[in-house]
Structure 1
């Protein structure tokens, strides 16, 4: 198989290289593409040096079977036809196509079978917060339909890219030295602070990030589920956390919920409150799974359940999920 990564120099692009190597993804050739600025940059993959090519409207994608794109929505929209015109499958990490009716929005643990219907040869990778949420929700949906979800997210700097991670480190160093922190990637200083805004606000008072969680969750789950989210940027490097409250059609015991999570694909339960064992981003960065803990009944609702999740934003929230989509397609004979 010949594959390509568009946006190879970004945080997610670099994670693609690590994930593909970790999982020994079957490749005959890997081609890297990037912006004019990134073109010529060299990266080592499986012992070979690869040079980033400049992304252009030409025939560079002829003969390529699979393309992972992570260069932003505007680039994905502009280059969709260039990438797919010779038959390549495009798995896109941006928001460009997520809500298009003829583009499936895939989390393999939840709705992998929808990869079979790709009229535009495009598959969308969901938003990182949505991926983490629906992997956990699927475990409960399998035993009782979920009607409503309230979720508060605690989102790492990595969600805003490599430069944002660098800025968080720089701000922390500056504060320790008693210097004025540099503020560029975020509206306010992130170090030693919380920012209750991720993305821009919409007319209804919710941010675009919060509305992504509402709309994307419904499309992926394929149900009438409703999600109300508050998204918060926190001074953590690369793993997101979410506090989640759900309402199901029937009451679910803590034991039922814990068993469902334990059996779920892509989920690991860390829930031993007697010994202060629960998921934390400090210890789970770089891991593949969604970790669930603090499982308990909602005191305000007999059909309610609440729990806490942590997952690596760059990995499962982006690159890993996109690679798992391709792995499923290979297993099912949907890719060459």
Structure 2
């Protein structure tokens, strides 16, 4: 659409003038001049473009009007001036609306960041990097949550998925994250956090919803304890290969633990130096393409492992978004954690 800016209206006027004069029928081209003035309406043009197109159209009327019938010239002039005024007013309204939308967009980003903030780059020596792909276009928050807190019991991490779709679950997600933050600093065990969160989620959802969650405790001696509440296990990246972490038995999601009599099994691993852990929600682990095929996360992660972790997440984000294009879309979150080595933590 940049063609309609600058000299394009003037070129149209020149062509009309040349054809009109060469054919000795300039009056037939006079009605085209209001259309030349309306050219900026075809694109996102500013006030100067509108005035420039109007000036070019008036010049065309002057060129073609020489020797034409006065009534045709007057009609063409009136048409150019009317169209220019209308397009100018429309351009001003469009700019005001765009400015208002931009302000609202910035306000929404600040508000969303305050409601569901992303974790910092490092907490207690644990390096973190998060990516979020919203199912709702333009959204930066949804039903997926993650958090990281430095506590008296070590660094505690959470990644979770609140049941429900769209932006309606944002309030529930924010309340769930707030409850976890409080419990992370006061409950000595992951099981204790899970049981108290289960009660809270039941109250928040009014017995008709749940939250899948992965609770993690990174101890100062390098151990990593995990508790899965109906959540996909993490991927362990070791020696350039990614594999799903074995030995982690999942219990029921938060809000449904009464169905398994509050059973909360945990698993403990000791990452080797340079190991990564990739945590993800169902939007990643159960992502399907248009043909219904699952996204091969472990395989793709292994293929990207030759790069820095941040670059790996960037590549995964682009690859996942491309893969799920045409398939069902769900909120998707990835949280990459790099625990400190035991040599460093000692």
Q: TM-score, normalised by structure 2?
A: 0.24
Q: Which has the higher contact order (CA 8 A, sep 6+)?
A: 1
Higher helix proportion (structure 1 or 2):
2
Q: TM-score, normalised by structure 1?
A: 0.24
